[in-house]
Amino acid sequence: MNALIVDDHEIVRDGMSLLLKDAFPIESILFAADGREAIQKATNFPVDLVLVDLSMPNGLDGFSALPELRKLVPKGKIIVFSMYDEIAYQKKAFDLGADGFLVKNLKSDAIIKSIDQVLRGKKVANEQVWESDVEGEVWETPFSPREQETFILTLKGYTQKNIAQTMNISIRTVENHRRSISKKLGTTNKHEWLEYAEKHQMLEMY
């Protein structure tokens, strides 16, 4: 398998390269510091997997490069690997041709598992997999992995103290997660939270 890692930080490129080589049958890895260089590499070399950052201030950004990369890698897999986890970014990435969306704060084993699922034909957003529904649409999680765990535990009746102990985080962090969840869902009403969770079968995840 030939991979292309697109990120403007060398340390990220090197770290992801080691991770891929350790987990997958990699034949070669190409590197690019921005979208324009990535397009050039994908034009000149066969690529099976692309990992691309969104924010690359000194060159063509990931969103701008995605459509052309999709054309150049029609049978390969393209995964956005970003520090941003907002649902708007995820939706735009999928609309532009991405097969997966991962946040950079995921642990190594979660990254490997998610990449493996994408390679198997799944659509992955922050560790969670969804199949296309009958209308061909894909649901993208609005939450980071830790927010999602907080969300589910809250709906299962855990107090802030219980959640903090279970997740090994501070109560203040739990409060921040809940505040972020409320902002992303547009409501603090727990009944509406529950309706959202049931609609997307999220209670079955934990």
- Output phi, psi for 153, to 5 deg: -65, -35
Q: Which whole number is the average pLDDT over 60-67? A: 91
CATH fold for the domain made of 2-130: Rossmann fold (3.40.50)
Q: Note whether 178 and 154 are within 8 A (CB).
A: yes
What is the pLDDT confidence band of residue 40, given thresholds at 50, 70 and 90? very high
| Residue 129: per-residue pLDDT | 53
Q: Which residue in 77, 76, 80 sits closest to 65, CA to CA?
A: 80
Beta-sheet pairing, 128-130 with 28-32: unpaired
Which sequence spans correspond to the domains of the chain? 2-130, 145-205
Residues near 148 by Cβ (< 8 Å), separated by ≥ 6?
Answer: 126, 128, 141, 202, 205
Bridge partner list, 3: 29, 49
pLDDT at 132: 42
| Residue 139 confidence class, pLDDT cut points 50, 70, 90 | low
> What does DSSP say about strands 49-52 and 77-82: parallel, antiparallel, or unpaired?
parallel
| Confidence at residue 135, expressed as pLDDT on a 0 to 100 scale | 39
Give the right CATH number for 145-205 from 1.10.3210.10, 1.10.10.10, 1.10.240.10, 3.90.79.10.
1.10.10.10
Q: Find where tokens 């691309």 sit.
A: 52
pLDDT at 142 exceeding the cut of 80: no
Higher pLDDT among residues 100 and 197, named by residue: 100
Whether 79 has a pLDDT exceeding 80, the answer reads yes
